[in-house]
Chain A
């Protein structure tokens, strides 16, 4: 019933608007085309300048309202460069935005049709055109130069001492594997995947490197220590999105990808910094991957070396979980020993 009433109200509003519009058309015919045009010109000219002023105020107000809700300072060293570049770009595009919008609406208002006013025949002017070809070209060169400098830093090889974490996407969660104390991930193959036998990733247990690998439900990282993510997928394309660290990388079946960064703050520090006791570093899936895409959430815990070591010590190796009869569940690693000399992962 209320739905029906709502529709009725909308239809009534439509009819009222339409009747007004029709009446105003008759009025304008009675008044004569010229006079009607002058009147609507004045109204729309005023609205254009009002839109400009209120719009610019709105831009400011919107920023005031929402600036506290974006992420704040980058939580990774690499993300600082991204943020700097955003600020530089914001400054340049912001100035252009304000100038061009003001020019557009102010000119429209100022040069609206008036009695006796003649338009100025001005078909071209080479000097002006050269100016506004060259200036944007220079500004863009600056942005490209800055951008590529950061781009090559972001995509450079991870330092040799970076920790390695393998992140594998599947519908609809992330599988996380650590290389254990040897610092190298065991070989894996799609046809070895067997969820029933605790082998979601398809690790080849015949590879000696796989024996000390362990899996986790959360990613744990050491603050201030570079980490390299080895990223893959076992079904469709996913994407490891790390908004707080300003990074992102697709997880593509069949094609391993990597990214690396250095976390700057522990989760605990971020809770204090943001004043939000529920603060969590999250991995979001940023590539449409099916009906559960929106729920593909991973958690990253950044902590101190001591906390990390204590956590690692508690993780059973995946080999022991997959072979419950073969050996008692042994702690994965004496992490302290290897954490400083971990080498790049054996991706294959």
Chain B
């Protein structure tokens, strides 16, 4: 369906477009249809964002709790008992509680915050606004996508309160540990709730992803060819493709796990003796689950990082007043990452007894990903070279993103090489690597996006000074937390340990662990400052007075400050050029809607 046709067919339902003038005063949304079951992509974006922020606070708070244990293993905190009850008897969390916290921290941050909260928010907000569409291809599916996510959230939240606790086998939920209630208290009803929640989450992702893809392919405004789209849209497109192709595989893995748990099947179980008796299960392979899991699990890290890459590209170009360097190379490298993402999953499994010959291919393909990643980094650096950079909080977070992406990406070259991985696998080196490259970086991309598009969302600005404080404490804190962890990993210090004091090889880091925990608390407090800034600015922030505060070229800034459902009153603007004409021919910026001059060449 062409964009124009969509526009006309939907005019009756939406109150935008040409009909806007007439309907404006008569037609009012009810509270329910405007704020709850909204079909406006902008509102759905805000729903994803605020749900994501709430989850982020919970997930990050969990990390503070288990960092207290790691940093101060001998201390007791009576207040812990008042919030955790018998999970923290005497003010010291139990190993069971520790593992539940670790597992939930991972699940929440990876799926609920950095997948739903990040690409859910910005794909929804920016795809229609930047390609020039009135809404998503299916606003109803979009609404469903959020509410399935909400349901998933509710189920996961409920699992925190059951008697035997939430799932506690690590966010990867490897069987047999996760398959057998006798193996771990968290593998009782906790895992059932976890699997239910994740199944709902997969549904949400598929509804969202299919929508993003069809909107980008079919609903671009007149003149918006694929190569005129901002890089944000390209990154959301590849993100959605990754999700649509890999989440179903994860779901299949979960269904088999559920059947092993309740239907007596043996997909993952074999030769097990537990709770005093041998189980009848024969012939299953615990490694099969890992293949199914990582077939999503690896693309998942790109699902997390690609949207951040896209937004950072956009923000860096705007704040440097320069076109993004190597636009086509940027798309090409996104594409290469997207393809390679499907071909490297077994690098998480080098020490499972994987056939070494097969392992060799995964080494090769994994290290190959460093090439498109390097291209992106060099292109970002060249983008700011000879620019005229304005350090808004968004642009600082973008610079921070590039810095952490380099730091974390380079250690990926270590871990992707199986011979090094055999020493560093499942140590703190891995924790340092993925927290820097997909935790901190993805958050930096998300913060850049929030600070940059906050005016588009709420018609107000966030407080800049708080933004600068937020940035500097977070950047410095993130390095202080994760950089020394590389050394712990080099010493072979395993991850997911409750206590290291009995280990002759790993107890030399007591002081360091304490230091890290202290910084974690400080950084967590600073994030609360950001959350406060966010909610305060929604109501009291400085008002936006011009349509285009950052002097950007892309279409979202041609909409009114408080755009209604349908985004543009009147016709959707036509696009004549790419989104990166900054400082061209002596002009600060040229909007995408401006036709090419008679002697002007396209990029």
Binding site for B on A (CB under 8 A): 3, 10, 14, 17-18, 20-22, 24-25, 28-29, 37, 40-41, 43-45, 47-48, 51, 55, 58-59, 62-63, 66-67, 69-71, 79, 81-82, 85-86, 89-90, 92-93, 96-97, 100-101, 103-105, 107-108, 111-114, 117-125, 128-129, 132-133, 136-137, 140, 143-144, 147-148, 150-152, 154-155, 170-171, 190-191, 193, 195, 202, 234-237, 239, 241, 243-244, 246-250, 252-255, 257-258, 276, 278-280, 282, 284-295, 297
Contacts and interface: CB of A to CB of B under 8 A. Distances in A.
A284 B492 contact: yes
Contacts of B420: 82, 85-86, 89, 147
B169 interface: yes
Contact of A96 (B287, B410, B423, B508): B410
17 contacts: A21-B533, A25-B463, A44-B391, A66-B487, A96-B406, A105-B399, A105-B403, A119-B322, A120-B322, A123-B580, A129-B326, A136-B371, A171-B183, A252-B352, A253-B272, A254-B271, A293-B497
Interface stretch (B1-9, B146-154, B241-249, B361-369): B361-369
Given A104-B381, A113-B389, A294 B79 contact: no
Given A58-B479, A118-B583, A136-B370, 4 more contacts: A21-B533, A28-B464, A63-B487, A235-B272
Contact of A288 (B386, B406, B496, B533): B496
A255 B492 contact: no
B371 A133 contact: yes
Q: Which 10 A-B pairs have the closest CB atoms?
A: A243-B492, A254-B270, A257-B353, A155-B356, A294-B497, A120-B386, A147-B417, A44-B391, A21-B465, A150-B419
Given A118-B388, A284-B503, A293-B496, A44 B491 contact: no
Given A40-B391, A66-B484, A136-B371, A280 B505 contact: yes
Given A25-B463, A86-B420, A143-B367, A71 B490 contact: yes
A236 B187 CA distance: 12
A132 to B, nearest CB: 4
Given A40-B391, A119-B320, A237-B177, A255 B353 contact: yes
Given A69-B509, A236-B183, A62 B487 contact: yes
B413 A124 contact: no
A294 B386 contact: no
B426 interface: yes
Nearest to A63: B487
A104 B371 contact: no
Contacts of A154: 419, 422
A10 B525 contact: yes
Prevailing SS type, chain A contact patch: helix
A93 B411 contact: yes
Given A129-B375, A291-B185, A123 B367 contact: no
Nearest to A189: B271
B264 interface: no
A293 B370 CA distance: 34
A215 B122 CA distance: 59
Nearest to B463: A21
Given A122-B322, A128-B382, A104 B422 contact: no
B30 interface: no
B321 to A, nearest CB: 4
B494 interface: yes
A170 B273 CA distance: 9
Interface of B: 78-79, 94-96, 99, 168-170, 174-177, 180, 183-185, 269-274, 276, 278-279, 283-287, 320-329, 351-353, 356, 359-360, 363-364, 367-368, 370-371, 374-375, 377-382, 384-391, 396, 399, 402-403, 406-407, 410-411, 413-414, 417-420, 422-423, 425-427, 463-466, 468-469, 472, 475-476, 479, 483-484, 487, 490-494, 496-500, 502-506, 508-509, 512, 525, 528-529, 532-533, 542, 580, 582-586, 603
Contacts of B285: 254-255
Contact of A104 (B169, B402, B542): B402
B496 A190 contact: no
B502 A249 contact: no
Given A100-B377, A294-B498, A22 B327 contact: no
B468 A40 contact: yes
B278 A190 contact: yes
Nearest to B355: A155
A206 B93 CA distance: 47
Contacts of A244: 492, 505
B363 A151 contact: yes
A348 to B, nearest CB: 12
Contacts of B270: 253-255
Contacts of B483: 58-59, 62
Contacts of A104: 380-381, 384, 399, 402-403, 406
A124 B327 contact: yes
Contacts of B184: 290-291
B274 A235 contact: yes
B426 A252 contact: no
Contact of A237 (B168, B176, B329): B176
B390 A119 contact: no
B532 A18 contact: yes
Contact of B322 (A71, A121, A137, A284): A121
Contact of B414 (A40, A71, A86): A86
Given A44-B396, A66-B484, A247-B423, A288 B177 contact: yes
A276 B504 CA distance: 10
Task: Identify which of B99, B497, B500 gathers the most chain A CB atoms within 10 Å of its CB.
Answer: B497
Contacts of A18: 466, 529, 532
Contact of B419 (A85, A93, A293): A85
Contacts of A287: 174, 426
Nearest to B542: A25
Given A20-B465, A132-B374, A284-B492, A239 B351 contact: yes
A7 B8 CA distance: 56
Contact of A294 (B95, B324, B378): B95
A146 B276 CA distance: 47
B492 A144 contact: no
B466 to A, nearest CB: 4
B502 A295 contact: yes
Contacts of A133: 371, 374-375
B470 to A, nearest CB: 10
A235 B183 CA distance: 8
A28 B533 CA distance: 17
Contacts of B326: 123-125, 129
Contact of B286 (A37, A71, A125, A237): A237
A17 B529 contact: yes
Contacts of A143: 367, 413, 417
B417 A89 contact: yes
Contacts of A24: 464-465
Contacts of A45: 391
A42 B169 CA distance: 49
B378 A132 contact: yes
A86 B468 CA distance: 37
A195 to B, nearest CB: 8
A43 B413 CA distance: 35
Contacts of A89: 413-414, 417, 420
B95 A292 contact: yes
Contacts of B509: 69
B594 to A, nearest CB: 16
B272 A234 contact: yes
B410 A252 contact: no
Given A21-B463, A143-B367, A278-B504, A113 B278 contact: no
A114 B413 CA distance: 38
A34 B76 CA distance: 52
A293 B496 CA distance: 8
Contacts of A67: 487
Contacts of B427: 243, 286
Contact of A97 (B99, B406, B528): B406
Contacts of A3: 78-79
